[in-house]
Amino acid sequence: MKRVIKPRWALASIKKYLCVGGLLVVVTTACASDPNQLVLVDELLKIDTQAALVAARRSIVGTLERPGPAVVNDGETILLAIYGVGSSLTAELLIDAEPHVFRATRAQPVLGRTRRYTLERIAPPCIHLRKSEASEVFCLGTKQP
Q: Delimit the domains of the chain by residue range.
A: 8-61, 77-144
- How far apart (Å, rounded) are the C-alpha atoms in residues 140 and 132? 23
- Which residues share a beta bridge with 17? 26
Residue of 72 and 19 predicted with greater confidence:
72
Least confident residue range of 17-21, 123-127, 137-141: 17-21
Q: How do residues 129-145 score in pLDDT, each as one tens digit?
A: 998 889 999 998 776 65
- How far apart (Å, rounded) are the C-alpha atoms in residues 131 and 49? 37
Residue of 93 and 115 predicted with greater confidence:
93
The pTM assigned to this predicted structure is 0.50
Residue of 64 and 127 predicted with greater confidence:
127
- How far apart (Å, rounded) are the C-alpha atoms in residues 118 and 61? 23
User: 77-144: what fold?
Assistant: SH3 type barrels. (2.30.30)
Do 141 and 126 contact (CB within 8 A), yes or no?
no
Q: Is the pLDDT of residue 67 over 90?
A: no
